[in-house]
Chains A and B, each alone.
Chain A
Amino acid sequence: MLQFWQLFQGLYTLFTSEPKIAIGRVVLILLGFLLIYGAYKKVLEGLIMIPMGMGMITVNGAFLVLEAGKYGNIFVDPLLSGPTALMNILQINFLQPIYTFAFSNGLIACLVFMGIGAITDIDYLIASPMTSMMLAVAAEFGTFFTFPVALACGLNPGQSAAVAIIGGADGPMVLFTSLMLAKDLFVPITVVGYLYLSLTYGIYPFLIKWLVPKRLRGLEMDWRTIPRIPRGEKLAFTAVAAAVLCLLFPVAGPLYFSFFVGVAIKESDLPRHVQFLSEPILYGSTFFLGSLLGVLMSADIIMNAKVLMLLLLGLLAILLSGLGGLAGGFIGYKLTKGKMNPLIGIAAVSCVPTTAKIAQKEAFLANKWAMILPFAMGPNVAGVITTSIICGIYVTGIPMVSKLLLGS
Chain B
Amino acid sequence: MVALRGLLFSLFTLALTAVISLLVVGIIMLIYRVVRRRQPEKTEGK
**A168: shortest Cβ distance to chain B, in Å?**
10
Could you say which residues of chain B place their CB within 8 Å of the CB of A236? 31, 34-35
Contact A407-B2, Cβ < 8 Å, known A240-B27, A390-B17, A393-B17: yes
**A314: shortest Cβ distance to chain B, in Å?**
17
Please classify how large the interface on chain B is, using the bins under 10, 10 to 19, 20 to 34, 35 or more. 20 to 34
Contact assessment for B13 and A390 in the assembled complex, using a CB-CB cutoff below 8 Å: yes
Contact assessment for A389 and B21 in the assembled complex, using a CB-CB cutoff below 8 Å: yes
Contact A160-B27, Cβ < 8 Å, known A137-B18, A248-B20: no
Chain A residue nearest in CB terms to B10 = A144
Q: Which of B10, B23, B28, B34 contacts A148 (CB 8 A)?
A: B10
A7 at the interface (CB under 8 A from B): no
A152 at the interface (CB under 8 A from B): yes
Chain A residue nearest in CB terms to B38 = A232
A394 at the interface (CB under 8 A from B): yes
Contact assessment for B29 and A129 in the assembled complex, using a CB-CB cutoff below 8 Å: yes
Contact assessment for A129 and B10 in the assembled complex, using a CB-CB cutoff below 8 Å: no
A255 at the interface (CB under 8 A from B): no
Contact assessment for B9 and A401 in the assembled complex, using a CB-CB cutoff below 8 Å: yes
Contact assessment for B35 and A232 in the assembled complex, using a CB-CB cutoff below 8 Å: yes
Q: Cα distance A140–B1 when bound, in Å?
A: 23
Q: Could you tell me which residues of chain A, from 218 to 251, have a CB within 8 Å of some CB in chain B? A: 230, 232-233, 236-237, 240-241, 244, 248
Contact assessment for A137 and B17 in the assembled complex, using a CB-CB cutoff below 8 Å: yes
Contact assessment for B13 and A394 in the assembled complex, using a CB-CB cutoff below 8 Å: yes
Contact assessment for A386 and B17 in the assembled complex, using a CB-CB cutoff below 8 Å: yes
Chain A residue nearest in CB terms to B2 = A151
Could you say which residues of chain A place their CB within 8 Å of the CB of B31? 233, 236-237, 240
Could you say which residues of chain B place their CB within 8 Å of the CB of A390? 13, 17
**B34: shortest Cβ distance to chain A, in Å?**
8
Q: Which residues of A contact B (CB under 8 A)?
A: 125-126, 129-130, 133-134, 136-137, 140, 144-145, 147-152, 157, 160, 230, 232-233, 236-237, 240-241, 244, 248, 382, 385-386, 389-390, 393-394, 397, 401, 404-407
Q: Which residues of B contact A (CB under 8 A)?
A: 1-7, 9-11, 13-14, 16-18, 20-25, 27-29, 31-32, 34-35
